[in-house]
A and B are shown apart, each in its own frame.
Chain A
C-alpha cells in the first residue's frame, strides 16, 4: 500500500515537472556562444571554467617541479634537451641557479593559490553551493563571473612573467623582503616581482568576490527546509573557508601595498640598513619582520583555505560510498569551526626563529598544537564512518581515503614543527617541505581529485573511466609517498630547502642518491597525471552517459536533470525534509533516502528523534508502528 501511494505521488510530481518544463521551454534563454561559454554568469559553467583553468595551471606547476627535481637529482649532468627547451635559462643543459629559484617560487605560488585555492574552492563552491542548497544561482552571478575573469587575468600575468628578460619572481612563494623589496637584489626581483604582485592583487580581488558571494548565498538563498544543520558538510566547509578567506586575504593586500610602496615610492616599511655592492641604500627604519607578521596572518589561514574544502568533499564522498551516515556530523561542523577560529591565532609558528620573544613563541606553540584536536576529531570521524561500512571503491572513494592517509601522515609531523624548541632544528629544512606537501599538498589534491571524479557526472553528464581512475590513484598515491617520505629524514639531518646543488656542500652529498630516487618517483607520479588528463578530457566528450543519480546519493544536486538548465531545477525548487546522511537507515528498503523525501513517505524507517518533537507526527508514527508491529528503540 505504501509503495503504491509513493508511486502515485511521484507520478503527480513528474506530471507537474513536465508541465513546468514546457512552460519553461517557452521562455528559454537564447544564449550566444559568448554568453554561454565565455562570459557566462551561470555558476555551473563558471565552476567548469575554474576547474579547467586550475588543471592547466596545475600541469604547469607539475612541469616546473619536474624541472627542478631533475636539477636536484643530477646536479652536474648536462641535459641538452633542457637547453633546447629553455634557452638561456639552461645554458649547457643545466638549469641556472636563478631559474631554479624562480621555478621553486612559481611552483609554490601556482600550486598554493591558483590550483588549490582557486581551482579547488572556485570549482566546487561554485558548482555545489547553489546545487546542494537548492538555489537558482549565486547571490550575484555577475560578481561571480567577474571573479573568474579576474582569476584568469591573474593566471595570464603569472605565466607571462616567464617570458620577460629578467625572469619571474624568485624570492620564494612567501616573497620575504628585502629580497622582494629591492629590485636590484636579484634578477627575479625586478619586473618579475612586479608582475607577481600585480597577479596576486588580481587574484585576491577574485578570491574576495568569490568568497563574499559564497557566504551571501549560503546565508540567504537556501531552499525551504534547508536549515544550517541540514546542510551537507561540503557546504559547511566551503562556507567557513570563504569566511577565513574574507578575513585573511585583505591583510595580504595590505602587506603587498606596503611592499609596493617600498619598491616603487621609496618608503621604508620593510627596509633598513641595506648595502648593495658597497652602496648604502637610503631606506632606514623599516622592519622585514613586519612583513612576515602580515604575510603569515594570511599565509597560515591560507593552508586551511586549501584543506577545508578538501575535507568537506571527503566527508561527502566517504559517507556516500560507505553507505553510512557520516560519523559525528555535529562534531565535524564544530571541528571545522574550531579550525576556522584557531587558524587566525597561530601564524607566529612560522616565525619562531625570527628572534621572537620566547614567551610569545610559547603562546603560538600552544595555539598551534591545539589545532591537532579538531584535526584529529575529523580524522577519527572519517575512520569511524568507514568502519563496518558497505564500502564501494569508486575512484572518488579511493582519493578520499587517500586524503585521510596523507592528512594523518602529514599532520603528525605538524606536532613536531609546531614545537618552538624543535623548530630551531627543523626550520627551513626538507622536514618542512615533507610536512606541508603531505598535509596540504597531497591531501588537498586528493580531495580535489576525489571531487572531480565524484561530481564529474554532475558537471558534464558523463562518467569518467574507473579503470584509468584506479591506475591514476595508485600510481599517484605510491609516488607521492616515495617523493615526500624520504624528505623527512633529509630534514632531520639538517638539509636546508631551496638549495640549488647538493654537490656544493660536503654534508649534503650523501643525500644525492636519495634525491635520484625522489626525482624518479616524481617523474612517474607526474606521468600518472596523463592518465587523469586523458580520462578527464576524453570523458567530457565520449564518456559513458551518466544517470541522474549515479552514486545513489542523498544530496540535492542529484535531483537536477542531467542536462544542465539555467536555474538548475525545472519548475519549483525542491523542499528539504531531512539531513543529507540518511544512508542504510534500518527499516528503509533502499540504502539511501534523498533529502527531498518527506518523513510521511518513510514511515518504516522513521525514528522519533526525526520528528523534531512534533506531537501530531509522533502520534501518527506511533499508530503506524502499532499497525505494522514495528518496535522502535528510541521510543521515549
Chain B
C-alpha cells in the first residue's frame, strides 16, 4: 500500500475531527439535562436551595488546569519536554483536586439535606455534576496518554498530536463546567 492508508500521519486530521464530533455529542447530552431541568422546573413543585460554596473553588481549579494545559502545549511546541511534563503533571493534579472539591460539594449538599432521592431539583444537581465528573475522569486518562508520550520519547509529531487531542477535550470539559455552574447558579 504505497500511499496514505497505512501512513498514520495523514490520519491525524480525521481523528482530530472525530474528537470534535465527540464534543458535539457530549454537548447534546448535557443540553438534554439542562433542557429537562428547565422543563421540569417550569412545571412547579420545585425545591429551591443554595448551591454549595465549594463549586466556586472547583470552578477556579478547573480554569487553572486549563491554563496549565495551555502552557504545557506551548512548551511541547517549543520541544521543551521537561517543562511540558511539569505542566502536564500540574494539570493532572488540578484535575484530581477538582474531583475532590466536587466530592466535598456533594458532602455539603447532603449536610444541607439535599439528597439524590427526593425532589428532582436536588437529583438533577447530582446527576449533572456526576456525569461531568465522569468526563473529567475520561480527561485524566487522556492526560495520561500525553504523559506517556512525553516520557517514552515518542516522535514530536505524535507528542504534539496527543497534546492537541487532550487540549480539545480538556478545554471542552472546562468550558462545560463553567456553563453548567452558571446555569445552576442562575436557576437557583
Report the bound CA distance from A212 to B23 in whole Å.
11
Chain A neighbourhood of B33, CB < 8 A: 254
Given A249-B25, A268-B123, does the pair A139, B32 have CB atoms closer than 8 Å? Answer: no
Q: Least Cβ distance of A499 to chain B in Å?
A: 31
Instruction: Judge whether A140 and B18 touch: CB under 8 Å.
Output: yes
- What residues of B have a CB within 8 angstroms of the CB of A286 in the complex? 120
User: Of all chain B residues, which has the CB nearest A136?
Assistant: B5
Known: A258-B127, A267-B116. A287 touches B43 (CB 8 A): yes
A381 to B124, CA, bound (A): 48
Residue of A246, A255, A261, A572 near B32 (CB, 8 A) is: A255
Q: Which of B1-49 contact A (CB under 8 A)?
A: 1-5, 11, 13-15, 17-18, 21-22, 24-26, 28-33, 35-36, 39-40, 43, 45-46
B188 on the A face (CB < 8 A): no
Please provide the chain A residues from 312 to 344 with a CB less than 8 Å away from any CB of chain B in the complex.
none
Does any Cβ of B come within 8 Å of A253's Cβ? yes
**A566 contacts partner chain B, Cβ-Cβ < 8 Å:** yes
Q: Which residues of A contact B32 (CB under 8 A)?
A: 250-251, 253-255, 294, 297
Say how far B21's CB is from chain A's closest CB, in angstroms.
Answer: 4
Please state if A251 and B14 are interface contacts (CB–CB under 8 Å). no
Residues of B contacting A246 in the complex (Cβ-Cβ under 8 angstroms): 21, 24-25, 28
- Taken together as a complex, chains A and B put the C-alpha atoms of A220 and B26 apart, in Å, by 21
Quote the shortest CB–CB distance from B149 to chain A (angstroms). Answer: 18
B residues near A293, Cβ cutoff 8 Å? 35-36, 39
With the chains together, A266 CA to B15 CA distance in Å?
40
Contacts of A566 in B (CB 8 A): 1, 5
* In the complex, A15 has a CB within 8 A of chain B: no
Question: Quick check: is B80 within 8 A (CB to CB) of the other chain?
Answer: no
Taking the complex as formed, is B119 at the interface, i.e. its CB lies under 8 A from any CB of chain A? Answer: yes
Closest-CB distance, A267 to chain B (whole angstroms): 4
Bound complex: CA A293 to CA B127 (Å): 18
A305 CB to nearest chain B CB (Å): 14
Question: Which of A19-27, A84-92, A98-106, A593-601 forms part of the interface with chain B?
Answer: A19-27
- Across the interface, B131 reaches (CB within 8 A) one of A220, A257, A267, namely A257
- Given A217-B14, A257-B127, CB of A212 within 8 Å of CB of B22: yes
Known: A24-B1, A290-B40. A268 touches B117 (CB 8 A): yes
Query: A285 at the A/B interface (Cβ < 8 Å)?
Result: yes
Whether B14 contacts A139 by the Cβ 8 Å rule is: yes
A250 lies within 8 A of B29 (CB): yes
Closest B residue by C-beta to A251: B32
**Residue B113 is within 8 A (CB to CB) of chain A in the complex:** no
Q: B-facing mask of A125-138, CB < 8 A → 1, else 0?
A: 00000000000110
Residues in A neighbouring B120, C-beta threshold 8 A: 267-269, 285-286
In this assembly, does A213 line the interface, its C-beta being within 8 Å of a C-beta of chain B? yes
By the criterion CB–CB under 8 Å, are A285 and B1 in contact? no
A258→B29 contact, CB < 8 A = no
A205-222 contact mask (Cβ, 8 Å, vs B): 1 or 0: 000100011011101110
Interface size class of B (residues with CB under 8 A): 35 or more
Residues of A203-262 at the interface with B, using a CB-CB cut-off of 8 Å, are 208, 212-213, 215-217, 219-221, 246-251, 253-255, 257-258, 261
Assess A247 versus B24: contact at CB under 8 Å? Given A140-B14, A286-B120, A294-B32. Answer: yes
User: Looking at the complex, which one of B17, B43, B119 makes contact with A284 (CB distance below 8 Å)?
Assistant: B119
A561 within 8 A of B: no
Smallest CB–CB gap between B36 and chain A, Å?
6
Instruction: Give Cα A282–Cα B1 distance, bound, in whole angstroms.
Output: 64
Question: Is A265 an interface position by the 8 A CB rule?
Answer: yes
- Asked if B127 and A261 sit within 8 Å, CB to CB, the answer is yes
Q: What's the least CB distance linking B128 to chain A, in Å?
A: 10
Residues of B contacting A267 in the complex (Cβ-Cβ under 8 angstroms): 116-117, 120, 123, 127
Please indicate which of the listed interface residues A267, A290, A566, A573 has the most CB atoms of chain B within 10 Å of its own CB.
A267
B40 touches A287 (CB 8 A): yes
What are the residues of chain A within 8 A of B28 when measuring CB–CB? 246-248, 250-251
Task: Report the minimal beta-carbon distance from A90 to chain B, rounded to whole angstroms.
Answer: 40
A567 on interface, CB distance cutoff 8 Å: yes
Q: List residues of chain A with CB within 8 A of the CB of B118.
A: 268, 284-285
Q: What residues on A are CB-neighbors of B22 within 8 Å?
A: 212
Q: How far is B12's CA from A220's CA once the two chains are assembled, in angstroms?
A: 10
Report whether B116 and A285 are in contact in the complex, using a CB–CB cutoff of 8 Å: no
Q: Does A143 have its Cβ within 8 Å of any Cβ on chain B?
A: yes
- Determine the chain B residues whose CB is within 8 A of the CB of A213 once the complex forms: 18
Docked Cα-Cα span, A208 to B22, in Å, equals 8
* Cα separation A282 to B115 with both chains bound (whole Å): 14
Provide 22 A-B residue pairs closer than 8 Å at the C-beta atoms, listed in order of the A residue. Answer: A24-B1, A136-B1, A137-B5, A139-B11, A212-B22, A215-B17, A215-B21, A220-B17, A247-B24, A248-B28, A250-B25, A250-B28, A250-B32, A251-B29, A251-B32, A253-B32, A258-B127, A261-B123, A268-B119, A269-B40, A290-B43, A293-B39
User: B residues near A, CB below 8 A?
Assistant: 1-5, 11, 13-15, 17-18, 21-22, 24-26, 28-33, 35-36, 39-40, 43, 45-46, 116-120, 123-124, 127, 131
5 residue pairs, one from A and one from B, having the closest CB atoms:
A139-B14, A254-B32, A136-B5, A250-B29, A250-B28
Using A265-B117, A268-B123, A282-B117 as known contacts, list a sample of 10 further A-B pairs with CB atoms less than 8 Å apart, ordered by residue number in A. Answer: A136-B4, A139-B14, A139-B15, A208-B25, A250-B28, A257-B131, A268-B118, A284-B45, A287-B40, A290-B36
